[in-house]
Structure 1
Amino acid sequence: MSTEVQINEKLPLVQAIPLGLQHVFAMFGATVLVPFLTGLSPSVALLSSGIGTIIFLLLTKSRIPAYLGSSFAYIAALTTFVKTNHNPSAAMGGALAVGVVYIVIYLLMAAFGTRWIHKIVPPVVAGPVVAIIGLSLTSTAVGMASQNWPIAAFTLAVAALISVYAKGFFKIIPILLAIISGYIVASIMGLVDFKPIYESFSSLNNLIVFPVKLGSDFQLPSFDKVAILAMAPLALVTIIEDLGHMIVLGNITHSDPIENPGFHRVLLGNGLATVVASFFGGPPVTTYGENIGVLAVTKVYSNFNIWMAAIIAIILSLFNPLQAAIMSIPSAVMGGVTILLFGMIGTTGIRTLIEAKVDFSETKNLIIASVIFALGIGLPDHGVAWATIVGITLNLLLKEQTKDIKTSAPATQSKPKGKRK
């Protein structure tokens, strides 16, 4: 399409459905990657993202074309409680606490406005925090890739080549295409176990299954102090991500979502979506940069397409063979794409610093960024959360550097001497 399609425009279904499917492809790889890494159900994650997106669209009055998918900020904490401690109920209690933090900050913003958030989270804080989300996870990516470096390297190469050289639709789904390519090569090499996929087709009752296992297997979120303290502070990280996404989204769609319908509504939609996800057994959700990229490429901003994407995601979550196929992907394949994905998250934070022209000759800025990077990467547990809190605190406590040298320079300059006779 050569012309822009605005947010409130509604395209015919024959166009809206494939455009919605395009958004699903854009978010699919990252959304199912989080449960794949943490031990949660990919189908539940798809269901949570679809329902969460619908909640978000309703609460933002369908004025913000944003898709909600699984957040990377909670991978380490979820892995600890789901895989290591075998306590998914506690993990969901932590996710519920994340949603509550969102709602509390929504109430504060609804009462006092949104200007104060720019003061406590300037680019010198936001940039490093976003960067360490990716950089702190790179060891996980390398660990998976090391299980079969040739497969990981091939998958990474495919993702990189598609990202750089592909055109149109293919350029916005490099992660998905790389996973498919890596999966095919791994299958040829005999590294894929197809048995669970065959078993999922064993009966019609097993073919289509509601992802949330109601009954004896269903566990409500539990109150676990350690899980809550580990996950709740991370809400500050994803709030920063949401703020950045809204700024970018406003530039692309020629709107101002922070003012209309308001950033407080963004937080309410995201918070309630995360609360619902916690009761289903899904990871916390956040707005997705991948889908903002789709808007930028296609110039189709219609919120109706996001509605279509959410509905398609819910439908896909009902098919049991899909979950079996996702879980059969070799770790090395996922390692190859996560090296690129986590690395790109890191460089996105650095890009924020560059575009904001943060002056690192200022001692205050240098200290804030240095401490955030050191804590976020160096701390073994929940470093991102602590780095965010410390970074915000330093920004509020430290004073701006007085530029004595620049102000005093003119006074020290001597006047030109006249010519000697």
Structure 2
Amino acid sequence: MSKPILDINEKPTPMQWITLSLQHLFAMFGATILVPYLVGLSPAIALISSGLGTLAFIIITKGKVPAYLGSSFAFIAPIIAAKASGGPGAAMIGTFMAGIVYAIVALIISKAGYKWIMNLLPPIVVGPVIIVIGLALANTAVGMAMNGPDGKYSMLHFSVALVTLAATIICSIYAKKIFSLIPILIGIIVGYSYAAIVGIVDFSPVVKAHIFEKPDFIFPFIDYKVHLTMNIVWLMIPVAIVTLSEHIGHQLVLSKVIGKDLIKDPGLHRSILGDGMSTIISALIGGPPKTTYGENIGVLAITRVYSVYVIGGAAVLAIVFGFIGKVTALISTIPTPVMGGVSILLFGIIASSGLRMLVDSKIDFGDKRNLVISSVILVIGIGGAMIDIKGVQIQGMALAAIAGVLLNLILPGREKMDESMFEKEGHSSDGTIDEHVA
């Protein structure tokens, strides 16, 4: 392993600090603003909550884990469902509960170790669930790409999506070094430019916006009544349990990148608690759930700059950006087909990463046990199956995850995982178990 240019607790010079922190900000920017765009939350709040959450994460992990936390794609479908059933407040309550699950798991891991969760969520369960996460969103991506504002097919709008998609793919395949980590951002910029040329961008919100503006915070008890229902619990918590496997995978990968065993020091319980606290903070101000970002791990690997001061600087910049009205207004003018074009690739990659997890883990589909578990998860999740017990609904991805966990525990022939197997599973260079393009 090469010697770091700046180690974890080394301070950069002021100019280095700004430049390197901006680099991390741009690496996470495209994916972080895409999530609130898709679920109807404020991109400004997503930026602010990612900054505050990252700072909380750094404090909880004693400044020993150089990780940036951005918006999680795994929760897109549950947030949309929660908003449909109870408005933004329901989505925030669900997000808060997801953070609480992380805190509870962190407490258990601090007492009992972490291998129990690896055995609870092996690749044969997590892989198909990740495939469901991606494919369940396929209709959303295609609809955004093909349809105009009236909801009908528009070749003009579809051309914008195709240009955006092409730019994102080209950047993903051919870009080098730091540019290979920001294909989403580059795709959005190219697609936006083309959309402006063909005349479907309205710049008036940017002209009207002030330089500094108060974002649209959503506070509990002020903007909505806090009322926890079992429907919200069953929408969000099963997904939180599955995304914990992503967190462990990221910590194993990050440990390799920086040459330190983060599972032991500061401990997996601290990093999971930090992730959960980041999600709780996000919920309290109206942002989406948070996750460690593979793009930013990629930046660490390429630059060999591991300083938490640089990560903290990126977090502060994200908070500042969230209060700049011109930036928020500019994000709001991004046409839907631009985001649709990016989403076609992004959601496909989520699904493909689940498939890759199964391949990397050498799952034998000649084994009927594996075939049964994966088949049930896929059809329940993609088909949108639902259980309704006295008004309490468990559906889609959540039901698929629960079914997968139960089948894995009940069916004979279960193999216990060791750390090396899980490290392969979690070896991701992007987002929530490869949920972002790297």
TM-score by length of 2: 0.85
TM superposition shift of 1:234: 1.6
Change (3 A) 1:58 1:190: same
Q: Which residue is equivalent to 1:91? A: 91
TM superposition shift of 1:339: 0.8
Determine the C-alpha separation between the residues in 2 that align with 1:232 and 1:399: 26
1:140 maps to a residue whose letter is: T
TM superposition shift of 1:283: 0.9
Determine the C-alpha separation between the residues in 1 that align with 2:112 and 2:218: 42
2:178 maps to a residue whose letter is: F
Q: Which residue is equivalent to 2:159? A: 150
More displaced, 290-299 or 35-44? 290-299
1:369 aligns with 2:374: yes
TM superposition shift of 1:220: 6.0
The answer to whether the Cα contact below 8 Å between 2:121 and 2:242 also exists between their aligned partners in 1 is no
Change (3 A) 1:221 1:43: farther
The answer to whether the Cα contact below 8 Å between 2:4 and 2:306 also exists between their aligned partners in 1 is no
1:29 aligns with 2:30: yes
Instruction: Report matched runs for 1:167-316 at 5 Å.
Output: 167-201=176-210, 207-212=212-217, 218-219=223-224, 221-316=226-321
Q: Which residue is equivalent to 2:403? A: 390
Over the aligned positions, Cα root-mean-square deviation in angstroms equals 2.3
Q: Which residue is equivalent to 1:56? A: 57
Determine the C-alpha separation between the residues in 2 that align with 1:25 and 1:298: 14
The answer to whether the Cα contact below 8 Å between 2:95 and 2:283 also exists between their aligned partners in 1 is yes
The answer to whether the Cα contact below 8 Å between 1:92 and 1:221 also exists between their aligned partners in 2 is no
2:8 maps to a residue whose letter is: I
The answer to whether the Cα contact below 8 Å between 1:363 and 1:401 also exists between their aligned partners in 2 is no
Q: Deviations over 1:247-300 (max 9, x none)?
A: 222222222222222221122111111111111011111111221222222232
Determine the C-alpha separation between the residues in 1 that align with 2:163 and 2:95: 35
More displaced, 326-335 or 112-121? 112-121
The answer to whether the Cα contact below 8 Å between 1:362 and 1:401 also exists between their aligned partners in 2 is no
Q: Deviations over 1:81-127 (max 9, x none)?
A: 43x45611121111111111111111111111112112111222222
Q: Which runs of 4+ in 1 moved over 4 A?
A: 1-4, 213-217
Task: Give 3-state SS (helix, strand or coil) of 1:207's partner.
Answer: coil
1:10 maps to a residue whose letter is: K
Q: Deviations over 1:167-203 (max 9, x none)?
A: 22222111101101111111111101112111113xx
Give the unaligned 5+ runs of structure 1.
Answer: 403-421
More displaced, 213-222 or 62-71? 213-222
Structure with higher Rg: it is 1
Task: Give 3-state SS (helix, strand or coil) of 1:286's partner.
Answer: strand
More displaced, 383-392 or 20-29? 383-392
Q: Deviations over 1:212-255 (max 9, x none)?
A: 37799744644243223311222112212212212222222222
Change (3 A) 1:320 1:85: farther
The answer to whether the Cα contact below 8 Å between 1:221 and 1:278 also exists between their aligned partners in 2 is no
1:167 maps to a residue whose letter is: K
TM superposition shift of 1:358: 2.0
Determine the C-alpha separation between the residues in 1 that align with 2:221 and 2:411: 53
TM superposition shift of 1:24: 1.0
Q: Which residue is equivalent to 1:416? A: none
The answer to whether the Cα contact below 8 Å between 1:109 and 1:264 also exists between their aligned partners in 2 is yes
Determine the C-alpha separation between the residues in 2 that align with 1:313 and 1:118: 33
TM superposition shift of 1:143: 1.0
Q: Which residue is equivalent to 1:114? A: 114
Determine the C-alpha separation between the residues in 2 that align with 1:21 and 1:138: 32
Change (3 A) 1:213 1:123: closer
Percent identical: 46
Instruction: Report matched runs for 1:123-142 at 5 Å.
Output: 123-142=123-142
Determine the C-alpha separation between the residues in 2 that align with 1:216 and 1:393: 37
TM-score by length of 1: 0.88
The size of the alignment, in residue pairs, is: 397
1:157 maps to a residue whose letter is: A
Change (3 A) 1:257 1:368: farther
Task: Give 3-state SS (helix, strand or coil) of 1:87's partner.
Answer: helix
The answer to whether the Cα contact below 8 Å between 2:9 and 2:307 also exists between their aligned partners in 1 is yes
Change (3 A) 1:132 1:215: closer
